[in-house]
A = this chain, B = another copy of it.
Amino acid sequence: MARRARAGILGFTGYSGAELVRILKAHPHAEPVLLEHRAVSDSELPVGENTSRIPFDTSAMEGEGLDVVFLATSLEVAMEAVPRILDAGIRCVDLSAAFRLRSVSDYRRWYGVEHSCPELLGEASYGLPEFFREMVRISRLVANPGCYPTAASLCIRPLIVAAILDRPPGVICDAKSGVSGAGRKPSLKTHFCEVTENFSAYSVLNHRHVPEILYTTDLDENELGFTAQLLPLHRGILETIYVRTAESMEWEDLHRIYAKEYSGEPFVRIFPKGRLPDLRGVQGTNYCDIGFRVDPESRRVVVVAAIDNLVKGAAGQAVQNMNLQLGYPETAGLTGGRGQE
């Protein structure tokens, strides 16, 4: 039997990190190694979490024979850690935003930070396998996409490629996310009593994920209206996307475009006529479910996409990228989950 890959996880106490641990424990070809860059108290760990932990330093990582490190940390920690990991000859899948954008000026504008290793921005591949699979395979540094852009890009890009949209006015993306998208750090915003029985918009027209959507879709900034909203639930993103087509289209026309784009894709499911995705269908899985309605007369199209923000929107896609980097079957470790066929 082949040796299992050793996959380090930096930031394993957050929601994405814990999901990485869960997925990797059941992975047929890899196993998780928890990396501590600060002391972690037992109360932060899930009950029964007994995976061995090692300190995050170069010699320890080399001693452990790590093949890849996942960074489920802040952007700041990732910027500092990624060069050290790469220098140790270890691949990285970065779940923070540290290497998703293309230029230092983008980081100044959208994150208000001066990027500390701009020389790696050009090298990083954007880990949305449906569009950039071959680049991911050969990258030692994969920038794992944001949760919102994963669903938005998978919906919008086929429409751009097929050149069927009225531009302007472009695309409206009304996005709703569960609370785990805000991270595990306690705040008033994520306090149960502030969230339950409530719903609110929190980032209208200026969300940090916008540049990622522009990058994957080639939309101009003026052509995208994006709003993020907070659902009173744990996990899942549903995006409702509004466009107008230049010519009148039928449902079947649109279906042909999506079916062709995602033919053979293991993690994109196009819904049949009359059915639309919901969150229940994707929770715990690596699927992006897509459905749509078409009104030929007004030329309006509404596309609805659902993902689990912690799986296809974070840890699941990260493992999908690792599978590509290490030459495993792309779906390895990702075929379980409640919502799945």
Contacts and interface: CB of A to CB of B under 8 A. Distances in A.
Given A204-B276, A341-B50, A184 B193 contact: yes
A193 B190 contact: yes
Contacts of A263: none
A198 interface: yes
Given A49-B341, A298-B225, A193 B15 contact: yes
A52 interface: no
A204 B302 CA distance: 8
Interface stretch (A32-40, A120-128, A229-237): A229-237
A284 B338 contact: yes
Contacts of A26: 336
Q: Find the residue from A49, A235, A297, A341 having the highest chain B CB count within 10 A.
A: A341
A186 B179 CA distance: 14
A183 to B, nearest CB: 9
A282 to B, nearest CB: 10
Contacts of A43: 188
A199 interface: yes
Interface stretch (A79-87, A103-111, A136-144, A169-177): A169-177
B298 A222 contact: yes
Contacts of A271: 47
Contact of A197 (B195, B234, B304, B340): B234
A179 B200 contact: no
Interface string A246-286: 00000000000000000000000101000111111101100
Contacts of A25: 341
Contact of A240 (B179, B194, B227, B279): B227
A83 to B, nearest CB: 32
A302 to B, nearest CB: 5
Interface in A215-246: 221-223, 225, 227, 229, 231-236, 238, 240, 242, 244
A256 B234 CA distance: 38
A198 B280 contact: yes
A229 B222 contact: no
A110 to B, nearest CB: 15
Interface string A283-308: 11000010001010110101010000
A275 B47 CA distance: 9
Q: Find the residue from A199, A283, A293, A297 having the highest chain B CB count within 10 A.
A: A199
A186 B191 contact: yes
Interface of A: 15, 22, 25-26, 43-44, 46-50, 166, 168-169, 172, 174, 176, 178-180, 184, 186-188, 190-201, 204-205, 221-223, 225, 227, 229, 231-236, 238, 240, 242, 244, 269, 271, 275-281, 283-284, 289, 293, 295, 297-298, 300, 302, 304, 336, 338, 340-341
